[in-house]
Chain A
């Protein structure tokens, strides 16, 4: 039987494991091998995932399973994404239990990050139902290499999605991630953007894919110029440990050009980055201030938009999914955090 979750479309017949090794054929069904098993759950700032234009200020219950359908040579989460079963610890957490934990720890939403959600898609969809019933928005980080059917289901279930667009050439994708064709990733960015809130992330490896900065910016602008684009300075990890450290000035010079096409470009994954705040494209005012504390994304330290997400200075609308909430607003009355 063919697995139709991602574009590898693996034939799982006769006990074959498939690329991600997370599904198995049982009778006439494709099933997860380890449903509802997670390697991590923690309360984090949504900006650290990163989402900069969705539910600003909120506390997210970040969850992740294990496994991936890519083999990125620079993976910083290889110990989870590419792990053997005995290398990471997994928890069994039912969808009900995840919702319960989110509520008890004052989380405003749930986000599947750390590894690729498409490898745990059935669990994710079940969780989506429970989260929806509980009024908790669900989001995820994905590499976008899913089938159209899966993308539709994901858009339906997730209020916010961050798609990793790792480069803009087939040669790069083949060499650095192992997939034969990256066209489905582009297609899915368009598909998801039409139906839900999308942010895009691109890890930049100097001299490997920094020439893709303008082509990616042009592509995103053609989909929707309001897409927030997170550019990561990639630390050499995993199979690329010995590559040189990327130059921040050089990459930022290239991003300056791209900022003419996309007003919301962020440059992070290095501690102290000063390119993680949001500026009003109309008047230039700093409207959301963030710090980078190391790692991707950031932490919000000031929010200066009105209740309808308009610039306080010039009233221009800043595209944001959901409303600003205070970090501790979910704590009230909950047994763990409610003081």
Chain B
């Protein structure tokens, strides 16, 4: 069984991660020790909130605590604050520079204290929002946190097609059939793919059913390449290569994969290379697409969740992993689960809520428990499978 501890300050509960229900029976010895460790850690270390700059230190301090207490060989560490704050808070250039400096100071502090060999990847830049593409008159859907892609259903008329293609802010439209013929797709991805995908031009985002009413100031860039740094000899040519580099080296030395949301070529500090952040015209959008690409080493269409998918349809009473949003099963080939089979220990800390445990699959994961930027508390996940 896999477990989660939900801590809402002054109160916590341990649940079965896949069923979502409270644990009532006795927990086996080794799992119990990990659970107790994680439970204590999050109790003493509550998440400050998505809008708090201190949440960057929360990640670093949590990662150091977890390292000292559990001594994992691999660590997955993700910082979401640059993307969250950069997207909705009106900041001066000087404020933004200070935030970026603080972000890299946190990375440096973790590495200096822990001595892990890093792979640091910036998931991409943010760009000012120039306009919204209102799809509400079409049968369409945006699956949060998508911003660059929307799903469109039942488009039959040729005129509708050209009208939509010529809508300002729309870069292209691709049908389900064309997508699968050109890109291939996993079984669940293909089944869930909307009739059409609508792709936004950079600086534009979609407004339609399922999206957030917030306006925001910036959105994710369409970055073809993103920065990555590692002192390891292995070449990282694409976002999907990171996974393999971790797996290849994790048995030899202690590796920390550090993921920086909202930081691209513009803001990355220190030496780095550039790696591909795309699959043909598709650019990764700092959502589950980027995280699962890192976690599984597979391109987005071979992970399960296409943009524009009507995720609510697959949310019946008995849906697995009810606390993990639209995710319908634990990621079977995440880094941590592969390492666990090789007897290599792992830990994760991140401020991008469920993506932390889903992408990392680490033995012990510590993450914020946030939804739509509300801070519900702090979560720990303990994987045993």
Interface residues of A (CB under 8 A from B): 39-45, 57, 59, 64, 66, 76, 79-80, 86-93, 97, 101, 104-106, 233, 235, 237, 245, 247-249, 270-272, 274, 291, 293-295, 299-303, 326-328, 331, 335-337
Contact = CB atoms under 8 A, between A and B. Distances in A.
A44 B315 CA distance: 10
5 contacts: A40-B211, A91-B136, A91-B207, A97-B136, A326-B316
B313 A331 contact: yes
A293 B215 contact: no
B142 to A, nearest CB: 10
Nearest to A115: B213
A299 B154 CA distance: 30
Contact of B10 (A43, A97, A249, A328): A249
Contacts of A249: 10-11
Nearest to A76: B374
Q: Which 5 A-B pairs have the closest CB atoms?
A: A272-B6, A39-B213, A272-B13, A294-B376, A248-B11
Nearest to A245: B9
Contacts, number: 128
Contacts of A104: 139, 153
Nearest to B136: A91
A272 B369 CA distance: 11
Contact of A245 (B10, B154, B208): B10
Nearest to A88: B213
- Which size bracket describes the interface of B in this complex? 35 or more
Query: Which of B21, B312, B318 counts the most A-chain CB atoms under 10 A from its CB?
Result: B312
A328 B315 CA distance: 9
A207 to B, nearest CB: 14
B137 to A, nearest CB: 8
B371 interface: yes
Given A41-B209, A245-B9, A327 B315 contact: yes
Contacts of A295: 371, 374, 376
A146 B384 CA distance: 54
B6 A291 contact: no
A64 B209 CA distance: 12
B15 to A, nearest CB: 6
A90 B12 CA distance: 38
Nearest to A107: B312
